[in-house]
């Protein structure tokens, strides 16, 4: 039964995101092992997972966080501590002013942004004391992924400087810059990293060899905690980079920390029939699991019997799992179950922590899932946050 497989089910509201702390610790331990073996620094990419109430679980393992801009950087400083690495495709002046007070790394995406803020940054007392390290995000122009939506190396990409863009800039463009940053992978293996690093060296090797360039950030997208990920190769690639260019290497994975650590629980609200059976749930794909529509992908779901639902028609009872919003396409997919679904049945969607909790909305005013933890070690659930009508109302005016 579902509640036997997921003991937190009866002690958490429906819907809820539930993060399994043991699984989170296990991922963090794998990542910390890489950090130690590769002698590099690893930080958590908050864009993927920013459930700050569980940061104490991660802090012992890593060096800090990477932030996509001022708000993530503030959250990193306030709730995680350690080092804060900030990169945004474009800052405004007020953000730079605020960031200079506390960020440890500040990476720029264009020559224009860097030159616009260089004087402000390099005259700041923290920069003069060596407490702020500035970098340029570069584009190695080497695509290894298969989905253009996630490929910063597509032609016309706005993310990262090409070699041509750097060469076209003024001669002193690298003055004040101490490192390079690239991010080109998404759920990829270390073989793709190796190929990307080769392309990087081909295009930017002379810059990496300069004595004033002391660090390289190899971004995220490394599927480190996936069982068949070639971790030895990652360690070798990083060690080789460090030795060849005398660099400190940073890695900023997000997904790898939170993959397979979280669930989204739901309840069947209604069952209708139009060509096929349709179950309407109390969660929304567009509101609570947007990557199902955006990426798109088909999440795994456990049925009331505690077993994984199968593709349509594989098991005796097939349902289209739909959602309670006005969007016609707010549908999770067609699944089959061994028993008929009933109104009030609970379902559990798997792998709902990374890039899910950070992306939710309150579209149509649908109840936002509560945020909970489950600790198998102590067999305890904690309801960290529930959302009310007031939360919905206060976002809008």
Contacts to ligand PLP by CB under 6 A: 45, 47-48, 66, 87, 183, 186, 219-221, 252-256
Helix (H, G, I), strand (E, B) or coil at 24: helix
- Name residue 83's beta-bridge partners: 64
CB of 186 to ligand PLP, least distance (A): 5
Which CB, 45 or 348, lies closer to ligand PLP?
A: 45
CB of 389 to ligand PLP, least distance (A): 33
CB of 280 to ligand PLP, least distance (A): 32
- Residue 145: name the closest of 189, 88, 198 by CA: 189
Q: What angle do CA 239, 245, 250 make, to 5 degrees?
A: 55
Q: Closest residue (Cβ) to ligand PLP? A: 220
CB of 166 to ligand PLP, least distance (A): 18
Which CB, 193 or 301, lies closer to ligand PLP?
A: 193
CB of 275 to ligand PLP, least distance (A): 38
Q: What is the DSSP string of 223-283?
A: -TTSTT--HHHHHHHHHHHHHHHT-EEEE--SHHHHTT-EEEEEEEEEEEEESEEEEEESS
What size, in residues, is the chain? Answer: 397
Which CB, 8 or 114, lies closer to ligand PLP?
A: 114
CB of 253 to ligand PLP, least distance (A): 4
Which CB, 221 or 333, lies closer to ligand PLP?
A: 221
């Amino acid at each position: 039964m579902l509640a036997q497989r997921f003991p937190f089910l009866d002690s958490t509201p429906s819907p809820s995101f539930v993060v399994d702390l043991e699984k989170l610790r296990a991922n963090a331990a794998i990542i910390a092992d890489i950090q130690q073996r590769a002698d590099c620094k690893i930080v958590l990419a908050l864009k993927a997972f920013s459930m700050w109430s569980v940061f104490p679980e991660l802090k012992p393992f890593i060096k800090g966080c990477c932030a996509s801009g001022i708000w993530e950087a503030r959250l990193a400083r306030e709730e995680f501590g350690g080092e804060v690495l900030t990169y945004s495709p474009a800052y405004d002046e007020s953000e730079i002013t605020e960031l200079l007070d506390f960020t440890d790394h500040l990476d720029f995406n264009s020559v224009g942004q860097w030159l616009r803020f260089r004087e402000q940054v390099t005259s700041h007392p923290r920069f003069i004391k060596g407490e702020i390290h500035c970098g340029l995000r570069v584009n190695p122009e080497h695509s290894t992924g298969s989905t253009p939506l996630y490929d910063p190396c597509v032609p016309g990409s706005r993310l990262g400087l090409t070699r041509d863009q750097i060469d076209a800039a003024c001669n002193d463009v690298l003055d004040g810059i101490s490192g390079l940053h690239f991010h080109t992978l998404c759920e990829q293996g270390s073989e793709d990293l190796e190929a990307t690093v080769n392309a990087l060296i081909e295009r930017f090797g002379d810059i990496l060899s300069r004595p004033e360039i002391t660090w390289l950030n190899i971004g995220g997208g490394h599927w480190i905690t996936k069982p068949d990920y070639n971790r030895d190769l990652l360690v070798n690639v990083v060690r080789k980079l460090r030795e060849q260019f005398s660099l400190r290497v940073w890695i900023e994975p997000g997904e790898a920390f939170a993959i397979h650590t979280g669930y989204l629980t739901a309840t069947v609200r209604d069952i209708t029939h139009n060509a096929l059976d349709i179950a309407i749930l109390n969660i929304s794909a567009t509101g609570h699991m947007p990557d199902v529509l955006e990426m798109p992908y088909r999440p795994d779901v456990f049925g009331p019997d505690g077993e994984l639902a199968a593709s349509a028609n594989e098991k005796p009872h097939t349902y289209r799992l739909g959602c309670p919003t006005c969007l016609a396409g707010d549908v999770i997919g067609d699944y089959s179950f061994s028993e008929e679904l009933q109104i009030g049945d609970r379902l559990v969607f798997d792998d709902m922590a990374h890039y899910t909790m950070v992306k939710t909305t309150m579209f149509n005013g649908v109840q936002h899932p509560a945020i909970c933890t489950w600790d198998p070690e102590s067999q305890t659930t904690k309801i960290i946050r529930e959302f009310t009508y007031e939360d919905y109302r206060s976002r809008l005016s």
